[in-house]
Structure 1
Amino acid sequence: FITLIVMIGGLTMFAVFTGVVSAVMMQRLKIVMDVKNLELDELRNHIVICGWNRSGHLIIEELHADPSMKHYPIVVVAEFTETPEHELKRIDLSRLYFKIGDYTIIDVLESVGIYHAARAILLADATHPRSDQDRDARTVLAALTIEKLHPGIYTCAQLLDRKNNVQLRVAGVEDVIVAAELASHLIATSVRNQGSVDVLAELLTVQIGNQFYNIPLPEQWVGKAFWEVSQLLKDEFDTILLAIERQANGNRETIVNPPKDRPVMLGDNLVVIARSLPQVAGGKS
């Protein structure tokens, strides 16, 4: 009888202890979630990532490795069953937020501060099993919604099928990435030019060596020939000029390796290779 009482008492104490611990943990989780939601309301000039797949953590690592972007808050919104903090062990999570929800819905986009965001990245979402066509359709729908809510935002979208690019261009999405195409081009390029993949691998990451940068043309260089600007950049900033980017009839035009005598124009941007962002004075966005 005494043994039975002891056993019942022990079980009761264990149940009470478990209940208290669970209550404390739930309260702490609620406080954390409330704080996070409050912070989301206050975010400005942040980056919103819609959707998640195996490349998500690599994108965030690259953004955090860039000195000019590592202070940007990042909000990831997707229909997570479990948020992927374990994939981001090398990332400072204090500036990273996760929102569980359907990013094709206006209320969800508003809850992550889309009106105040500086950039939006749309990934081919893999949080739930869907066909490639359905994944692209959700990307297109989200892009249309984001551009409608915040026309001034910069948007980059990942597609699985190039044929779905038309709607994104009409919506005003600035850049579209078809990952399978890029991978195929990289493989073919490495076969045609052995060793070139090492060059591309360095240029496509901010974590080592040289990278691509897009900088505004300094006003004092307007009217100079391409080769003159190229020489100035190399002499003064140890930077290589690759291309000119300009607006033509409302569309962006990128002229890679133009003729040496082609003049640069007011409003042009310069696409360059450098070890860090060249601090060229007099540029005008």
Structure 2
Amino acid sequence: FLVERRVNEGFPTFFDSLWWTIVTISTVGYGERVPLTFWGRIGALATIFVGMAVMGTVTGRIASFLMERQMKEENGALDYHRLKGHFVVCGWKREMNRVLHQILDADECFSPVSTVLLNRAPTESITDIRNDPRLKGIRYVNGDLMEERDLIRAGIKGATRVLVLADHLTEGDLRQIDSKTVMAVMSIKNLNKNAYVCAELLDTKYEKYLRLSHCDEILSSREFVRAVTACAASGTGLSHVLQALISGTNGGCLETVKIPDSFIGKTYAALREYFFYEEHRQLIGLLENTGNIMARKREALRDAQKNPDISSLVPKLKEVKSLTANEPVINPPADYMIRRYTRGIVITGPEKGSAR
């Protein structure tokens, strides 16, 4: 500006010179303003070279950052500790794609984008999952489900729900796999007591350790398979019934549903009539103490302490201690009272409105 202002009408003000400098640094300039003096042109050349260096450096940094992030994402090295309200799947099973499909189909609250996988599966297996159109956007953390730092990277502290699978990548026998599951649940509950944790066991003798860890739901997969196999061997056809109810292949589906708040404290008979005539579903039982079992016990303990009758306090405390998460009550008596935090176990027909 100081050099050109007296001989060049293209730079009448300091702002015009500043505008020209910024445009020249970021691009090659528009050509509407050209320095005429010797020192002005020297300054323009310096500005052009500085602009090329600056833009090259900035572009390189951006490209390097994007490439590094992509590589970290592919290798499962990203950190998701700031995520909130997501779903974490720990461990690995064969045919993991199908397992994830069924999980997402069963719960519409979660999507692939809000799901984080934590395991040490081979890269090609994770690539297969990412290439699955239905699982597009799913997140992955390469780590050990027993390591606290890996659990934190998977965002356990902010997770709403956690599923711990019997990890088929664990070397050793069934005891080592189940021991790893128990240790993982203990670490998860230590990091996030409010998360709903479901764990898969291969041997039921470890179930008591999971209950001591306040695991909310325990799936004894091998025990379940043995029971279904025994049903099939009996020749009663019950295995087909169970498969149809769980998968919903024949239209009917077994599920748990929320009970309207107005039925808390009312009888099972009244609720059964409501589901049959209003919801067109067949109520077959109740699922009590649903949700986070630690929260249920804390609330029950507060209610017990409010009772002024000291003689009834000890039995109440024993009742609180014996609370079991997700306890099914199948076909209770008609006068059975509906409690808080209870869901209905229902069979839904193929078409709503088919019941009369």
Report the TM-score when normalising by structure 2.
0.63
Quick one: which amino acid aligns to residue 106 of structure 2? Answer: D
Q: Which of 19, 30, 40 matches 2:68?
A: 30
Candidates 250, 254, 276, aligned match of 1:234:
276
Distance 2:243 2:132 in 1: 20
Q: Does structure 2 retain, via aligned residues, the 8 Å contact 1:57–1:87?
A: yes
Aligned structure 1 segments of 4 or more residues deviating by more than 4 angstroms:
26-29, 34-39, 87-91
Q: What do residues 15-67 of structure 1 show as CA deviations (whole Å, max 9, x unaligned)?
A: xxxxxxxxxxx997633245686683453211111110215333211122236
Q: Does 1:127 align with 2:169?
A: yes
Distance in structure 2 (CA, Å) of the matches to 1:275 and 1:120: 30
Q: Name the CA distance, whole Å, in 2 between partners of 1:251 and 1:121.
A: 19
Identify, as 1 or 2, the structure richer in strand: 1
CA 1:67–1:101: 2 relative to 1, 3 Å: closer
Question: 2: CA distance between counterparts of 1:64 and 1:80?
Answer: 20
1:67-216 equivalence runs, <5 A: 68-71=108-111, 73-82=114-123, 83-86=125-128, 90-192=132-234, 194-205=236-247, 209-216=251-258
- For 1:29 and 1:241, the matched residues in 2 are separated by 55
Count of residues paired in the alignment: 253
CA distance in 1 between counterparts of 2:141 and 2:324 reads 34
Distance 1:206 1:108, change over 3 A: farther
Could you tell me which residue of structure 1 aligns to residue 324 of structure 2?
Answer: 251
Cα drift, residue 139 of structure 1: 0.7
Identity of aligned residues (%): 22
Query: For residue 44 of structure 1, what is the amino acid of its counterpart?
Result: K
**CA distance in 2: counterparts of 1:239 and 1:69, whole angstroms:** 22
> What is the Cα deviation at residue 141 of structure 1?
0.6
Matched, 1:263 2:337: yes
Aligned to 2:83: 43
- Give the Å deviation of 1:232: 1.3
1:40 partner SS:
coil
Structure 2 distance, partners of 1:103, 1:223, is: 41
Given that 2:231 and 2:238 are in contact with CA atoms closer than 8 Å, whether structure 1 keeps it comes out as yes
Question: In structure 2, what is the equivalent of residue 22 of structure 1?
Answer: none
**Which of the two has higher C-alpha Rg?**
2
1:67-106 CA-to-partner distances (Å, cap 9, x unmatched) read 6234262211112232434267655233312211111111
The structure-2 alpha-carbon separation of the partners of 1:67 and 1:121, relative to structure 1 and needing over 3 Å to count, comes to closer
Is the contact between residue 115 and residue 139 of structure 2 (CA under 8 Å) also seen in structure 1?
yes
In the TM superposition, what is the alpha-carbon distance from 1:270 to its structure 2 partner? Answer: 1.5
Conservation of the 8 A alpha-carbon contact between 1:51 and 1:78: yes
Which position in structure 2 is the counterpart of 1:6?
A: none
Q: Does the C-alpha gap of structure 1 residues 107 and 208 become closer, same or farther in structure 2, counting only changes over 3 Å?
A: farther
SS in 2 for 1:152: coil
Specify every segment of 5 or more residues in structure 2 that has no aligned partner in the other structure, as ranges. Answer: 1-63, 290-318
Distance 2:235 2:274 in 1: 30
Give distance in 1, aligned partners of 2:100 and 2:132: 10
For the pair 1:63 / 2:136, whether they are aligned, the reply is no
- Which is further off, 60-69 or 115-124? 60-69
1:219 aligns with 2:293: no
Query: Which stretch shows the higher mean deviation, 90-99 or 114-123?
Result: 90-99
Q: Kindly report the root-mean-square deviation, in angstroms, between the aligned alpha carbons of the 2 structures.
A: 2.9
* Counterpart residue number, 1:273: 347
Q: TM-score, normalised by structure 1?
A: 0.77
User: Displacement, 1:171?
Assistant: 0.7
Quickly say closer, same or farther: Cα 1:267–1:157, change in 2 above 3 A. Answer: closer
Contact 1:62 1:205 in 2 (8 A): no
Question: By how many angstroms is 1:222 displaced?
Answer: 3.0
